[in-house]
Amino acid sequence: MDQRPIGVFDSGLGGLTAVHSLWRILPEEDLIYFGDTARVPYGSRSREAILKYARQDVRFLRSFDLKAILIACGTVTTTSLAALQAENDLPMVGVVEPTCRRAVLMTQNKRVGLIATAASVRSGAYEAALRRLDPEVTVFSRACPLFVPLAEAGRIRRGDVVIETVAREYLTPLKNAGVDTLILGCTHYPLLTDVIGDVMGPGVELVSAGEESAFELKRMLKARELRADERRRGETEFYVSDRVEDFERTASLFLQEDLRHTARRIDIERY
């Protein structure tokens, strides 16, 4: 048993989709969440910039005595996971592998859609993992660069004409390609599940990178005997690199919990 907290990070709010699942499946664990809200979005940046940011995020999280880190960010996982794992002597879980495993299990017609940030699509990491897991799968990929800024601005609801128009434009080609499974390969995208589901229709399974990474973390903790005492109730601390009020407002909306006055701001450039 290990009562130390787990670090979770993302460029902004997206990693909360993993936190949401962690609260359900690992309620006894303490979490330290960092959202790099001053520098979001990562997905439109170069690999070098993303790796630099990710290293700072990890250095900040490691100022706590952690037992593991969940990289709750598709963009950091696709571009930087191997480097971060090589540099850090603590277990790190990313989102790509578990998400692809689930997608391969779900698809019946072997036509899988992938939506992710531009950096993730460019990296080819999801496609490579899917092909390795099932060479018969055909992957249809699409970068959706406007989804992250819209989600960060809280434009996540059904009936919001802006997000609905953008979603239709991005997703119609994937729907027309006949995919039966769609990977939400950026952890922000499950915030838009209703809107995405409406465009794709009921015959398409949505696979959330946030949720699958949470399950993977649970498996890893169990395998390494790092789980906390199941009788305790864990706590979550939130840190961001820009205004706490904006983060708290949208986070409360999504997590359906009042998070006012809970987040703290840090200067990520110091790390």
Binding site for substrate: residue ranges?
10-11, 42-43, 187-188
How far apart, in whole angstroms, are the C-alpha atoms of residue 227 and residue 1?
5
**C-beta separation of 194 from 219 below 8 A:** no
Contact between 187 and ligand DGL by CB under 6 A: the answer reads yes
How far apart, in whole angstroms, are the C-alpha atoms of residue 181 and residue 36?
30
Q: At what angle do helices 96-106 and 209-223 cross, to 10 degrees?
A: 110
Work out which of 34, 42, 60, 247 binds ligand DGL, going by CB under 6 A.
42
The stretch among 38-46, 98-106, 198-206, 233-241 that binds ligand DGL (CB under 6 A) is 38-46
Q: How far is the CB of 120 from ligand DGL (least distance, A)?
A: 6
Q: How far is the CB of 108 from ligand DGL (least distance, A)?
A: 26
Q: Would you say 79 or 227 has its CB closer to ligand DGL?
A: 79
- Structure tokens given for 100: 């692809």
Q: Alpha-carbon dihedral of residues 237, 192, 26, 250, nearest 10 degrees?
A: 20
Contact between 174 and ligand DGL by CB under 6 A: the answer reads no
Work out which of 103, 144, 148, 183 binds ligand DGL, going by CB under 6 A.
148
The stretch among 22-30, 70-78, 134-142, 229-237 that binds ligand DGL (CB under 6 A) is 70-78
Q: Which residues bind ligand DGL (CB under 6 A)?
A: 10-12, 14, 40-43, 73-75, 117, 120, 148, 186-188
Catalytic residue numbers, as ranges: 73, 186
